[in-house]
């Protein structure tokens, strides 16, 4: 998993640098502060990636570029699949930075499917399921998979646990995709569906686990989503979260998400934990590396 993630990370960084240089934006980022750009979040994010990866340093309110990344070698299928997605994103970056017009590539299904169904994403979910003990659930357990997208998390839960799954997804077209995939696997009896945003989630029954894979930076009100998660738990239930955070690969991979509907950069690890505690959930276990945090929280 980490080799694939590192290759995607390196490609995003290289492609970002070359796009900024070719469009003259690299020079502008060295002449005026990030907060003077139309999309301030995006400008700050760009600067933070270059500084974090060692190609620039802070110089007051601007950055000073110190070196250039070399074009990375791509050896994994997943990095090869995501490279054209990154290329597409970079064609939109200059206009977004300078005008604040943020496109949403969700409608470009071929690209969106590569993002939502990537092997990197699946590997992250697999690791979370194993490390957070979900593979040890009984067949009587119920897991709410919040913000299921096109079903990568649903299918991984079905593969690795015996539990029933409630897929919570706001987009009806995504639900239809998941239904087709589940039907092909012959596991319709293990999956039910709720069409709702995470902030509006009302489940047909209390659940043992609310599972949230890379949800926080995609939704308008993460705090409300966590309140809804807490409200739908059984007394001894738990919220299990796997989330990219604002460091390591959590800086670069979610950069792609921003052009597919994510509403903000990912939180820092400290922001994520504070958010969970603010809704009266107790963080019982946490682990992480490479900009990814997995944790379990209980009532």
Tell me: the pLDDT tens digits for 46-78?
999 999 999 999 998 999 999 999 999 999 988
Q: Quick one: which of 239, 150, 159 has its CA closest to 201?
A: 239
Q: Identify whether the C-beta of residue 297 lies closer than 8 Å to the C-beta of residue 239.
A: yes
CATH of domain 114-298: 3.40.50.150
**For the chain, how long is the longest CA-to-CA vector?**
60
Angle, CA 254 vertex, CA 251 and CA 258 arms, to 5°? 120
What's the mean pLDDT when you consider all of the chain?
94
Give the per-residue pLDDT at 221.
97
Tell me how far apart the alpha carbons of residues 103 and 179 are, in angstroms, rounded to a whole number.
Answer: 28
**pLDDT at 269 exceeding the cut of 70:** yes
Q: Residue 111 — very low, low, confident or very high, per pLDDT cuts 50/70/90?
A: confident
- State pTM to two decimals: 0.94
DSSP SS3 for 207: strand
Which whole number is the average pLDDT over 109-120? Answer: 82
Q: How far is CA 35 from CA 49, 98, 99, in A?
A: 16, 11, 13
In degrees and rounded to multiples of 5, residue 162 shows phi and psi of: -90, 5
**pLDDT at 196 exceeding the cut of 90:** yes
In degrees and rounded to multiples of 5, residue 265 shows phi and psi of: -65, 160
End-to-end Cα distance, the chain: 32
**pLDDT at 266 exceeding the cut of 90:** yes
Which whole number is the average pLDDT over 228-250? Answer: 95
Which whole number is the average pLDDT over 262-284? Answer: 96
Q: Identify whether the C-beta of residue 149 lies closer than 8 Å to the C-beta of residue 177.
A: no
Which whole number is the average pLDDT over 259-284? Answer: 96
Which whole number is the average pLDDT over 228-246? Answer: 96
Q: Residue 120 — very low, low, confident or very high, per pLDDT cuts 50/70/90?
A: confident
Q: Going by C-beta distance under 8 Å and a sequence separation of 6 or more, which residues neighbour residue 112? A: 105, 106, 150, 260
Rg from Cα positions in the chain: 19
Q: Identify whether the C-beta of residue 215 lies closer than 8 Å to the C-beta of residue 225.
A: yes
- The beta strand positions in the chain, using DSSP E, are 56-59, 62-65, 142-146, 164-168, 191-194, 207-213, 233-244, 282-289, 292-298
Tell me how far apart the alpha carbons of residues 285 and 241 are, in angstroms, rounded to a whole number.
Answer: 11
Give the per-residue pLDDT at 1.
62
pLDDT in tens, 122-163: 888 998 899 889 999 999 999 999 999 999 999 999 999 999
Q: Residue 27 — very low, low, confident or very high, per pLDDT cuts 50/70/90?
A: very high
Tell me how far apart the alpha carbons of residues 117 and 149 are, in angstroms, rounded to a whole number.
Answer: 9
**pLDDT at 119 exceeding the cut of 90:** no
Tell me how far apart the alpha carbons of residues 275 and 273 are, in angstroms, rounded to a whole number.
Answer: 5
Give the per-residue pLDDT at 104.
87
Which whole number is the average pLDDT over 218-242? Answer: 97
- Give the sheet arrangement for strand 282-289, strand by strand: 191-194, 164-168, 142-146, 207-213, 233-244, 292-298, 282-289
**pLDDT at 181 exceeding the cut of 80:** yes
Tell me how far apart the alpha carbons of residues 183 and 177 are, in angstroms, rounded to a whole number.
Answer: 10
pLDDT in tens, 284-299: 999 988 899 999 999 9
pLDDT in tens, 121-133: 888 899 889 988 9
Where does the chain hold its CATH 3.40.50.150 domain(s)? 114-298
Percentage of the chain modeled with pLDDT above 70: 99
Angle, CA 146 vertex, CA 278 and CA 76 arms, to 5°? 110
């Amino acid at each position: 998993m980490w080799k694939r993630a590192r290759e995607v990370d390196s490609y995003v960084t290289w492609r970002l640098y070359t796009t900024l240089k070719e469009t003259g934006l690299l020079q502008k980022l060295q002449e005026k502060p990030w907060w003077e750009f139309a999309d301030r979040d995006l400008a700050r994010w760009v600067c933070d990636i270059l500084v974090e990866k060692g190609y620039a340093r802070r110089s007051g309110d601007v950055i000073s570029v110190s070196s250039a990344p070399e074009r990375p070698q791509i050896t994994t299928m997943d990095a090869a699949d995501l490279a054209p997605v990154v290329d597409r994103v970079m064609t939109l970056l200059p206009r977004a930075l300078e005008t604040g017009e943020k496109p949403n590539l969700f409608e470009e299904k071929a690209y969106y499917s590569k993002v939502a169904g990537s092997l990197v994403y699946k590997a992250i979910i697999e690791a979370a399921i194993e490390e957070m003990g979900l593979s040890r659930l009984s067949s009587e357990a119920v897991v709410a998979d919040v913000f299921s997208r096109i079903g990568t998390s649903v299918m991984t839960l079905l593969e690795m646990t015996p539990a029933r799954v409630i897929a919570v997804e706001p987009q009806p077209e995504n639900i239809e995709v998941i239904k087709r995939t589940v039907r092909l696997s012959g596991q319709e009896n293990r999956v039910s569906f709720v069409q709702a945003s995470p902030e509006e989630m009302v489940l047909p029954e209390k659940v043992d686990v609310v599972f949230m894979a890379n949800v926080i930076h995609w939704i308008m009100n993460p705090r409300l989503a966590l309140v809804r998660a807490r409200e739908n738990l059984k007394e001894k239930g738990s919220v299990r979260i796997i989330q990219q955070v604002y460091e390591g690969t959590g800086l670069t991979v979610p950069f792609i998400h921003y052009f597919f509907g994510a509403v903000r950069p990912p939180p820092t690890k400290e922001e994520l934990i504070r958010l969970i505690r603010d809704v009266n959930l107790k963080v019982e276990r946490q682990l992480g590396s490479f900009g990814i945090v997995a944790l379990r929280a209980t009532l």
